[in-house]
Structure 1
Amino acid sequence: MVFEIQGKFALITGGAAGIGLAYTVELLKNGLGGVVIADIDGLKGSEAVDYLNKKYGANKAVFIKTDVTKADQLEAAFKLAISTFKKLDLVINNAGIMNDANWELEIAINCNAVVQGSLLGMKYMGKNNGGNGGVIVNIASILGLQELDGCPIYVGTKHFVVGLNRSFGTPYYFNLTGIKFLTMCPGVTDTPLISEASKFALQGYPDIGKVLAEGLGSLPEQRPEHVAIGMLKLITEGENGSVWVAEGGKPIYEVQIPERTSLRKN
């Protein structure tokens, strides 16, 4: 199913800066009709909207301060999209943190809020609820496809996103809602994480900050714009339930999750 960006309307969480803002810019450049940016940072959100509306046209972007861990605030962002644009076609659940030092918040943002955003997307876009269907992209990470000793809880949250999306991306949900679920797994993109790794590592373990920095440093780096270009391809061409990697500034590629096999003899 090819999804045309032209004239569509989107909601992006964590869209005020970094990769989230890069997604917004790339989509507006390619004809997105409008976007609601939901972000906890009020200052960056206002700055982003001012910039986007000057560059791409008045009222193309709307900001709402949103703590994605609060279900009522997240739903308010969806309601704003509907009231502003009269429809919603695309949701990117991008908000996320790497912070094993505060793993309760990490799970709340990386897992719980992604579930909530997915369910709200189905509520407001699903054909079974009077919507027109659409696309939901949930952001995992390259670490949703591998292990890394320096941030085991973060890795676990991103494996969660991959499993969640592959399950929502089955024919049952698509036939019911008309919504295509896609997973983006960016590689290392926000390079300051490497230099500040000791702040975000799981606490109480010797040299864990160094271990995390070395683990992240072993992975190829890229700019947010590289991921954003890949996001455009993912949204327009990706098949329902598919999982894609954007790493090292190279073109994105789809990964196939191996089928279960048993290595143990009965």
Structure 2
Amino acid sequence: MGVIRMSYLALEHMSKLSGGRGGVIVNIASLAGLGPLPSCPVYTATKHGVVGFTRAMAAASTASGYGIRFNVLCPSFVQTDLFVNTTSNLGQFSHLADVAKQMEDKFGVLNTSEVAECVLELVKDETKNGDTLLLIPKGKQYMTFPSFS
């Protein structure tokens, strides 16, 4: 809910329709927002929601003339306190800790400065609106989705 509430609050203050100057909002999802993390189904669902919400807000902003770009960054595992304590927080899915470790080994672990660099890219590149950027230690990739327009 935090992503939604903050996006709406920012929209209220930033929208050119309400006297704001426009701008950019970059939401942070996760690799789990693009595919399942079996050991964390609820986390996976919420991160899919962040991706979908951000893309829908970008489309709404364009259609409404808000003057705000919305993008979403989906990093793989990031060296944070949440990541360090992941296995102790799996609850009923603790038996899948080995699966989570295999995914970590496959995709790798980022440091926070790598994530920050991609946030800046999404902010600075004025052609980016509704974009989803996957970041893993081996590189980054903009995702493509079906278009309904």
Match of 2:124 in 1: 236
Matches within 5 A, 1:247-262: 247-248=136-137, 250=139, 252-258=140-146
Corresponding position of 1:199: 88
In the alignment, which residue of structure 2 is the partner of 1:122? 11
Identity of counterpart residues, as a percentage?
30
2:110 corresponds in structure 1 to 222
| Count of residue pairs the alignment pairs up | 146
Verify: 1:211 aligned to 2:92, yes or no.
no
Equivalent residue for 2:38? 149
Q: CA deviation at 1:215?
A: 2.9
Which 4+ runs in 1 deviate beyond 3 A? 191-196
Amino acid at match of 2:67: G
What is the distance in 2 between the residues matched to 1:214 and 1:194?
14
**TM-score using structure 1 length:** 0.50
* 1:151-196 deviation digits (Å, cap 9, x = unpaired): 11111110000000110011x4234311100111111112665653
Distance 1:151 1:254 in 2: 24
Aligned partners of 1:198 and 1:208 also within 8 Å: no
- Check whether the contact 2:15–2:22 (CA below 8 A) recurs between aligned residues: yes
Task: State the one-letter code of the partner of 1:231.
Answer: V
Q: Is the CA contact (8 Å cut-off) linking 1:165 and 1:183 kept in structure 2? A: yes
Larger Rg: 1
Residue 245 in 1 paired to residue 110 in 2? no
* 1:50 alignment counterpart: none
Kindly indicate whether the alpha-carbon contact (under 8 Å) linking 2:39 and 2:93 is maintained by their aligned counterparts in 1. no
Closer, same or farther: CA 150–124 of 1 in aligned 2, 3 Å: same
Tell me, what secondary structure is at the counterpart of 1:256? coil
In 2: Cα distance, 1:155 partner to 1:231 partner = 21
Match of 2:48 among 133, 139, 159: 159
Cα separation, 1, equivalents of 2:122 and 2:11: 19
What per-residue deviation string (whole Å, max 9, x for no partner) do you get for residues 101-154 of structure 1? xxxxxxxxxxx0000000001011111111111111111111111112111111
* Structure 2 unaligned regions, length at least 5: none
Distance 1:206 1:225 in 2: 30
Structure scoring higher RCO (CA < 8 A, sep ≥ 6) equals: 2
Offset of residue 230 of structure 1:
1.7
RMSD of Structure 2 on Structure 1 (CA)? 2.2
